Structure 1
């Protein structure tokens, strides 16, 4: 980077630090208001959410986001579920068994209760017009902005001597295309993902300012709002962040025996008296919380029940709770996976719908840019 770029980056960081707290408070207030409005007027919202198919979905995904997607769908929110297959190669040399993982993701979505009659499930690599939006969107952002994005910054710091790919650098813009192509106005996110949504909002606003409003007095793109996630954060079985790449997860599709073996190896501590203390005993408390989520109880009541049962008693209870909670989901998943034709039909139907909407949006964009010939 040049000295000017470094200065620009430092200035941007300082500005971000001075405004981030106020921006977070504002986002939290809007999210609370939206949460209340959803119960009354779900028809006002189109939600976009999704996953990168880098591995199998696990119970952390279920409690962190999947259960909430089903809740919003059942409220009547127009729900769009993205399988972000192109984003697999932002930081990887290959895609691996991506076709299998994509269909596995679809099976998991259906098994947890996402209804293809009410939710659009699609892979963004199969929607050409969505990806074509990258070209005009890239003209609306600067190199410095992209490098200040937390995800991009962390990737840049982690690459060492390996150059960061152009796709990784433009990752926030690709996310903007994912959200805006279908004109989603609601995106469930965690607080750490707010910078991505702010970049999307900036792209939508700048497009209107630079290119106009097509054939309408309304902006081509809405300003999407964050629905801040209230989903539970589940640590991995080793006490670190639950991650597909770390191999510390319990996959949704695992058998009861596989689940039991994994939980048996989970990290605890030497104190036989079980308490719920996430600060001082994060590994033990994580297992207590997992049981509480599965049994719809408080962590404190779980810890009190186990008492002096130690790590063995805790793991026994957690195993039973997880297997009981996920037994019907796993049974449905097993049936769905056995019908590959149905899985493909669901995905193709979603892709067809996504292409219809993306083509219409791209036409609006080209009209606003006076590029219809």
Structure 2
């Protein structure tokens, strides 16, 4: 399966008009949260609906980068698929597949590791952040190969655009370097993928830091209305009664305002002005109502889909088959370019 490679603009540029193929995905460490939705998931649906060929990897091997075991992995994989489907991902237009089910993709890791230095991998800021929040007793070798593994995820399908959050740009730059170095050394095989950055600022969790499953500060897409209310009631604010939007000095309050604004399609400054001196209790009430109303249709769709887990397995089986066909073709091309075709 071939693709006409484009020449994307520098990372961070919205290049949807020229994109031919997009790769994105998540680690199955739990259900997706609001940060995932506003950060990348809604962009995936927009790209799919615009007719861009889209691949979505469920990176189960990469769960082991920051933890010793992958508990309840099969359940988490199915939960991700349910979140994707409920958010609007269409398996007829987006290929959803599991990392470990595509052997040829993972074989690309070996030649890719020969194209990056240990120093480059070690100073990657995203790797440093993952190490800081690791659940492992010691840092594994897999942690340091994480950027190269993501490069294999992206390049196996010759994606030329990757929807990412700001914190993932360093990983994408490693992918671009690997693609460029491979092409320089062995001949043109891979495009250098560009980044599609969400126009949504980093969404903070209930503790005022980056929303993350591993930090326990996230609101799941599939949370019930009562769960959402409870999490928002516990959210960090500050002692100031008058509500203002000031991300630098009032991160907790501003994060809640931003979340309400995203759900309501309004500016956080306007919501803050309406609340004024009514304080944090009123702010949290508005945020709770906005989130529950905005995500009620998605949550209803997800509950309906969850009643038939057999369909989820069928979607994965068909997606894995399509991904394997493409990965086999890419690996064959790579081996030919490297002079490693012995048949």
**What's the TM-score, normalizing by structure 2?**
0.91
For 1:345 and 1:125, the matched residues in 2 are separated by: 16
Task: Tell me by how many angstroms 1:363 deviates.
Answer: 1.0
Q: Name 1:17's counterpart in structure 2.
A: none
CA contact (8 A) 1:65 1:231 kept: no
From 319, 324, 332, the counterpart of 1:350: 319
Establish whether residue 230 from structure 1 lines up as the match of residue 205 from structure 2. no
Task: Tell me by how many angstroms 1:158 deviates.
Answer: 7.1
Q: Name 2:111's counterpart in structure 1.
A: 136
Q: Name 1:307's counterpart in structure 2.
A: 276
| 1:114-169 CA distance string (max 9 Å, x none) | 1111111111111000001112222222222222322334456777x965312111
For 1:185 and 1:27, the matched residues in 2 are separated by: 11
- Structural mapping, 1:244-263, within 5 Å: 244-263=213-232
Look up the SS of the partner of 1:245 in the other structure: coil
Establish whether residue 68 from structure 1 lines up as the match of residue 37 from structure 2. no
Q: Name 2:234's counterpart in structure 1.
A: 265
| 1:300-332 CA distance string (max 9 Å, x none) | 221122222211111111111110000000000
For 1:283 and 1:154, the matched residues in 2 are separated by: 21
Q: Name 2:289's counterpart in structure 1.
A: 320
* 1:156 to 1:256, Cα distance in 2 relative to 1, 3 A: closer
Runs of 4+ in 1 over 6 A off after TM superposition: none
For 2:317 and 2:10, the matched residues in 1 are separated by: 39
For 2:155 and 2:255, the matched residues in 1 are separated by: 36
Establish whether residue 78 from structure 1 lines up as the match of residue 53 from structure 2. yes
Look up the SS of the partner of 1:50 in the other structure: strand
**What's the TM-score, normalizing by structure 1?**
0.84
Task: Tell me by how many angstroms 1:60 deviates.
Answer: 1.2
- Structural mapping, 1:28-43, within 5 Å: 28=12, 31-32=13-14, 34=15, 38=16, 41=17
Establish whether residue 47 from structure 1 lines up as the match of residue 22 from structure 2. yes
For 1:341 and 1:309, the matched residues in 2 are separated by: 49
Name the count of aligned residue pairs: 334
* 1:266 to 1:153, Cα distance in 2 relative to 1, 3 A: closer
CA contact (8 A) 1:182 1:357 kept: yes
For 2:138 and 2:238, the matched residues in 1 are separated by: 41
| 1:223-246 CA distance string (max 9 Å, x none) | 111222323322111212211122
| 1:52-84 CA distance string (max 9 Å, x none) | 112221111111111111111111211111111
* RMSD over aligned Cα atoms: 2.1
For 1:238 and 1:110, the matched residues in 2 are separated by: 29
Larger Rg: 1
